[in-house]
Chain A
Amino acid sequence: MLSQQDMLEAERHGRQVRSIYVYEAPVRLWHWINALAMVVLAVSGYFIGKPLPTLPGEASDNFLMGYIRFAHFAAAYIFAVGLAGRVYWAFVGNHHSRQIFKLPIFNSHWWSEVFFELRWYLFLEKQPKKYVGHNPMAQLMMFFFFTVLAFGMLCTGFALYGEGLGLGSWADRLFGWVIPMLGGSMQTHSLHRLGMWIMMSFVVVHVYAAIREDIMSRQSLISTMISGWRMFKD
C-alpha cells in the first residue's frame, strides 16, 4: 500500500512526464508579434490596393494613404526582422524550432502520419495520435502556406518597396530582380495581393485547426503557444 504522500508524489511525477517544453520563448514571442504584423499587413495592404472613399479638403490637410502605407511598411519591417530572427532561431533553438523550415520528406513513417492526419480530418479515424510538435499534416501546411509563402511575400513586398525607394536602393539591389522575373510591376502587385489572400485563407485554417485540436486532440495547442508546454490529456 502506498502512503498518502507517495500517492501525491506519483501523481505529480506522472503529470510532469505528461508535459513537454516545446516552444521556447523566442518562438512564442515571434508567433504573436508575427500574427499581429500579419493582421496589420493584410488590412493596410487591402486598402492600398482598394483605397478608402475619397477625402474632402486640401491635400495638405490629409495624409490618409501616407499613414496606411506607413503602417504597411512598418509592419513589413517587423514581419521581415521577425522572420529573420525566426530563421536564426531555427539554427540555435531546439529541434521543434526547425519544424516549419524542414520537411522530413524521405521519412516514410512521417508520410504515413500525414495520411493518418488527413484521414483524421476527414472523420475517418476515431482517435487522434499524440504529437509533441506540429502534427505532420500541420507541418506540411505550415511549410508551404506559411514559410514558403512568407518568403514569397517578403521578396515581392520588398521588390515593390524598392520601386518607391528608387533605383540603387538596398531593396532594389536585393529584391529588384523579382519584378522583371514575374513579368513587371503590375504582375508583382497582383501576385503580392493574391499572396495576401492565400495567407489569410491559411490563417483561417490555422486558427480553426488550433482551436479544434485543442478541444478534440489528446494534447494542448493554444496554451502551448503561450506557455511553451505541451500538456497531454491522457
Chain B
Amino acid sequence: MTETFYEVLRRQGITRRSFMKFCSLTATSLGLGSAFVPKIAHALENKPRTPVIWLHGLECTCCSESFIRSAHPLTKDVVLSMLSLDYDDTLMAAAGHQAEAIIEEVKKKYKGNYIVAVEGNPPLNEDGMFCIHGGRPFVEVLKETCADAKAIISWGACASYGCVQAAKPNPTRATPVHKVITDKPIVRVPGCPPIAEVMTGVVTYMLTFDKIPELDRQGRPKMFYGQRIHDKCYRRPHFDAGQFVENWDDEAARKGYCLYKMGCKGPTTYNACSSMRWNGGVSWPVQSGHGCIGCSEDGFWDKGSFYDRVTDIKQFAVEGNADKVGGTAAGVVGAAVAAHAAVTALARARSDKQGDNQNSGDK
C-alpha cells in the first residue's frame, strides 16, 4: 500500500495544525470556498499519493527555481514531499543509472496513474541530438515516460509554447510538448517562469480532485490564466484616465502611471501576476516600474520589441509595424489617387480642347 499525502507529511514532522492551515490556504488560492477545506484535507488524508515525474528538456531551470520559492507557508515542503518528486534530476539526491531506474519503476508500478511534469521542451532536429538525457535524446525519454501517464503538465513557456529556444529561426527545432505528445491530457502552465503559487496550485488541484483543472482554449487553467494582467492591474485607473508614462525618467513614471505607452504587454497577456504577484506577494514587474513583457504568451520572443505598444509585425520587415506598413500603404494610395486625379484632369482638358476643335471644325 502506498502512503497518502497526509502520512508523508506527518512522517516529515508536520503538525496537523499546519496541515489544516495549508488546506485552507490552498482552497483560497484555488478560488474555492471554505467548504472545500475539509474536502481537500480528506483527499490528502485518504488518497494514495500520485507520483510525479518531473522531466527537464531544453530549458533554463527557472521553472524549478520559481517552484521551490512557493511562498505559501509550507507549500514548498508540503508539495515537494507530496510529489516526493519520485523523479526530478535537478532536485533529487540519486544520480546516474540509479536515478534513471526510478522512471522505469514508477512507470511499472503506477501504470496509467502518474503525472509527468515537463519543464523545457524537446528539440527535434538532428534526431533530437540537441538535448541528451541520460545518454539518449530527450524526445525519446519524453515519449516513453508519457506513454503510461495519466496527465501531463507543461511547465513554463518552454513546454507550453517553445520560448526562447524556439524563437526564430529555431535552429534546433525546439517543439512544445503538446506537439510531440498528442494522446494525453495536457495542462499548460505558461510563464517564464510561471508564478510559484500557480505551479503549486495546479499540482495541488490535480492531486486533490484527481482531475485536471478547467482549461481555456489554449489549454491553460482558467483559474490562473482566465484574465489579462491589464484586467486586474493596480495601474489600470491611470490607463482609463489617459495618464501614461512617456519616458522612463519622467514625472509620470515617478507617480506610477500606466506603462501602456512604454510597451507594457499587460493588455495582451493572460496571467495572474497582477493579482497574485511574485515572491510571496512582495511585488511584480509593473509594480517595480517596468511593463509586462508578455512572457506567458505564445512566441513572446517573436512578437516585436518589449518597449513598443504598436509593435513590429515580423512578416513584413525587420522594422515594420501596423502603423508603418499601414500608414505607408495609405500614403502611397493617397499619392496615387492624387496623381491619378491630376492625370485625369489633364487628359480631360486636352480631350475637351480637341473636342472643341472638332466641334468647331464640324461647323
**What's the least CB distance linking B141 to chain A, in Å?**
29
Contact of A62 among B227, B241, B246 (CB under 8 A): B241
**Given A59-B243, A185-B268, A163 and B228 contact (CB-CB distance below 8 Å):** yes
Is B330 on the interface with A (CB-CB < 8 A)? yes
Is A198 among interface residues, defined by CB-CB distance under 8 A? Answer: yes
Given contacts A51-B242, A197-B322, is CB(A121)–CB(B327) below 8 Å? no
CB neighbors of A among B220-248 (8 A): 222, 226-228, 231, 237-246
Q: How far is B321's CA from A201's CA once the two chains are assembled, in angstroms?
A: 17
CA distance A204 to B340 in the complex (A): 12
Q: Is the CB of A189 within 8 A of B244?
A: no
Most buried by A among B226, B243, B309, B341: B243
Pair A190/B311 contact, Cβ less than 8 Å = yes
Residues of chain B with a CB closer than 8 A to A183's CB: 298-299
Say which residue of A53, A164, A193 sits within 8 Å of B326 (CB atoms): A193
Whether, in the assembled complex, B216 has its beta carbon less than 8 Å from a beta carbon of chain A, the answer is yes
Interface residues of A in 25-69 (CB under 8 A from B): 49-56, 59-66, 68
In Å, the complex CA distance between A4 and B222 comes to 84
**B298 proximity list for chain A (CB < 8 A):** 180, 183-184
B120 sits at the interface (CB 8 A): no
With an 8 A cutoff between CB atoms, is B119 at the interface? Answer: no
Please determine whether A197 and B329 come into contact, CB atoms closer than 8 angstroms.
yes
Given contacts A166-B231, A205-B337, contact A200 B310 (CB under 8 A): no
Q: Give A176's nearest chain B residue, CB to CB.
A: B217
Chain B residues near A102 (CB-CB < 8 A): none
**Restricting to B226-275, which residues have a CB under 8 Å from any CB of A?**
226-228, 231, 237-246, 252, 257, 260-261, 265, 267-270
B325 within 8 A of A: yes
Contacts of B311 on A, CB cut-off 8 Å? 186, 190
* Chain A residue, CB-CB nearest to B240: A66
A49 to B260, CA, bound (A): 9
**Docked CA distance A37–B303 (Å):** 30
B112 within 8 A of A: no
**CA gap between A60 and B241 in the complex, in Å:** 7
Whether B303 lies near A184 (C-beta < 8 A) is: yes
Does A49 contact B218, Cβ atoms closer than 8 Å? no
- Bound together, the chains give a CA A65 to CA B226 distance in angstroms of 24
Q: Which residue of the partner chain B has the closest CB to A177?
A: B217
Residue of chain A at shortest CB distance from B161: A184
- A residues contacting the other copy or chain, number (CB 8 A): 48
- Nearest chain B CB to A48's CB is how many angstroms away? 10
Distance, CA A121 to CA B344, complexed state (A): 9
Q: A59-B238, A197-B325, A197-B327 are in contact. Are A216 and B348 (CB under 8 A)?
A: yes
Given contacts A54-B257, A64-B242, A201-B330, contact A189 B268 (CB under 8 A): yes
Roughly how many angstroms separate A65 CA and B260 CA in the complex, as a whole number? 11
Q: Are B216 and A54 in contact (CB under 8 A)?
A: no
Asked if B333 is at the interface (CB within 8 A of a chain A CB), the reply is yes
Q: Does B95 contact A (CB under 8 A)?
A: no
Known: A49-B309, A50-B323, A179-B217. 11 other contacts (CB 8 A): A54-B261, A184-B299, A185-B269, A185-B270, A189-B268, A190-B313, A193-B323, A196-B322, A197-B325, A204-B334, A208-B340
Return the 10 tightest CB-CB contacts between A and B, nearest first. Answer: A197-B326, A64-B242, A185-B268, A62-B241, A193-B322, A201-B333, A59-B237, A59-B241, A66-B240, A194-B322
Listed by A's residue number, 21 A-B pairs whose Cβ atoms lie within 8 Å are A49-B309, A51-B260, A54-B245, A54-B252, A55-B241, A59-B238, A62-B241, A62-B242, A64-B242, A163-B267, A166-B227, A167-B222, A176-B217, A186-B268, A186-B294, A190-B310, A191-B313, A198-B326, A200-B326, A201-B326, A201-B330
